[in-house]
Structure 1
Amino acid sequence: MGKKQKVEAITPMDQDFAQWYTDVISKTELVDYSPVKGFMVIRPYGYAIWENIQKEYDKKFKETGHKNMYFPLLIPESLLKKEAEHVEGFAPEVAWVTHGGDKELGERLCIRPTSETIICSMYSKWLNTYRQLPYLYNQWCSVVRWEKTTRPFLRTSEFLWQEGHTLHETYDEAQAETMQMLDIYKTVAEEYLAIPMVVGKKSEKEKFAGAYATYTMEALMHDGQALQSGTSHNLGQHFTKAFDITYLDRDNNQAYPYHTSWGISTRLIGALIMVHGDDNGLVMPPKIAPTQLVVIPIAQHKEGVLDKAWEIFNELKDDVRAEIDDADGYSPGWKFNQWEMKGVPIRLEIGPKDIENNQCVLARRDNGEKIQVSLDNLKEEVEKLLEEIQQNIFDKALKMREEKTSVAISMDEFKEKLAANPGFIKANWCGSRECEDKIKEETGATLRCVPFEQEKIGDGSCVCCGEKSEEMAYFARAY
Structure 2
Amino acid sequence: MKLSDNGILRCGEMMAYYDISECYILRPNAMKIWNIMRTYFDAVLEKAEVDENYFPLFVSASVLEKEKDHVQGCMGYKSCKWIKSHRDLPLELNQWNNVVRWESREFLWQEGHTAHATEEEADKEVLEVLDHYRHLYEEYLVVPVVKGMKSENEKFAGARYTTSVEAFIPETGRGIQGATSHCLGTKFAKMFDIEFTNKEGKNELVWQKEKNLETFVLAHEIMTHGDDKGLVNPPKVAPIQVIVIPVPFKDADTKEISKACSAVKDALREAGIRAKEDLSDNYSPKWKYSHWEIKGVPLRIEIGPRDLAKKQVRTVRRDNGVKADVPRVGLVEHVKELLGKIQQNMFDVAKQKRDDACVVVKTWDEFVEALGQKKLILAPWSDEEEVEMDVKRRTKDEVGAAKTLCSPFDQPEIPEGTLCFASGKLAKKWTYWGKSY
Query: TM bucket by the smaller chain?
Result: over 0.9
Change (3 A) 1:124 1:343: closer
Report matched runs for 1:80-479 at 5 Å. Answer: 80-87=64-71, 116-146=72-102, 157-221=105-169, 222-299=171-248, 302-318=254-270, 319-420=272-373, 422-443=374-395, 444-456=401-413, 460-479=418-437
**Which 5+ residue runs of structure 2 have no aligned equivalent?**
396-400
- Preserved contact between residue 247 and residue 256 of structure 1 (Cα < 8 Å): yes
Partner secondary structure for residue 314 of structure 2 = strand
Q: Which residue of 2 aligns with 1:39?
A: 23
Partner secondary structure for residue 361 of structure 1 = strand
- Bigger drift between 448-457 and 228-237 goes to 448-457
Q: Distance in 1 between matches of 2:177 and 2:154?
A: 11
Partner secondary structure for residue 154 of structure 2 = coil
- Preserved contact between residue 124 and residue 243 of structure 1 (Cα < 8 Å): no
- Preserved contact between residue 423 and residue 476 of structure 1 (Cα < 8 Å): yes
- Preserved contact between residue 144 and residue 159 of structure 1 (Cα < 8 Å): yes
Q: Distance in 2 between matches of 1:429 and 1:317?
A: 53
- Bigger drift between 366-375 and 28-37 goes to 28-37
Percentage identity across paired residues of the two chains: 38
Aligned residue type for 2:421: V
Displacement after TM superposition at 1:310 (Å):
0.6
Displacement after TM superposition at 1:410 (Å):
1.1
Displacement after TM superposition at 1:302 (Å):
2.4
CA RMSD, Structure 1 to Structure 2 (Å): 1.4
Q: Distance in 2 between matches of 1:173 and 1:52?
A: 29
Aligned residue type for 1:60: V
Q: Distance in 1 between matches of 2:241 and 2:7?
A: 22
Q: Distance in 1 between matches of 2:304 and 2:336?
A: 22
Q: Is it true that 1:75 corresponds to 2:31 in the alignment?
A: no
Displacement after TM superposition at 1:283 (Å):
0.8
Q: Which residue of 1 aligns with 2:6?
A: 22
TM-score by length of 2: 0.95
- Preserved contact between residue 409 and residue 457 of structure 1 (Cα < 8 Å): no
- Preserved contact between residue 226 and residue 423 of structure 1 (Cα < 8 Å): no
Q: Distance in 2 between matches of 1:423 and 1:381?
A: 39
- Preserved contact between residue 280 and residue 340 of structure 1 (Cα < 8 Å): yes
Q: Distance in 1 between matches of 2:146 and 2:73?
A: 30
Partner secondary structure for residue 119 of structure 1 = helix
Q: Distance in 2 between matches of 1:349 and 1:379?
A: 15
Q: Distance in 2 between matches of 1:429 and 1:147?
A: 36
Q: Distance in 2 between matches of 1:168 and 1:454?
A: 28
Displacement after TM superposition at 1:381 (Å):
0.4
Q: Distance in 2 between matches of 1:385 and 1:419?
A: 39
Aligned residue type for 1:243: F
Aligned residues: 426
Displacement after TM superposition at 1:75 (Å):
0.8
Report 1 or 2 for greater relative contact order, CA contacts < 8 Å, sequence distance ≥ 6.
2
- Preserved contact between residue 219 and residue 226 of structure 1 (Cα < 8 Å): yes
- Preserved contact between residue 375 and residue 434 of structure 2 (Cα < 8 Å): yes
- Preserved contact between residue 77 and residue 188 of structure 2 (Cα < 8 Å): no
**Which 5+ residue runs of structure 1 have no aligned equivalent?**
1-11, 14-18, 88-115, 149-156
Q: Distance in 2 between matches of 1:302 and 1:165?
A: 57
TM-score by length of 1: 0.87
Q: Which residue of 2 aligns with 1:151?
A: none
- Preserved contact between residue 299 and residue 315 of structure 2 (Cα < 8 Å): yes
Q: Distance in 2 between matches of 1:405 and 1:394?
A: 16
Displacement after TM superposition at 1:454 (Å):
1.0
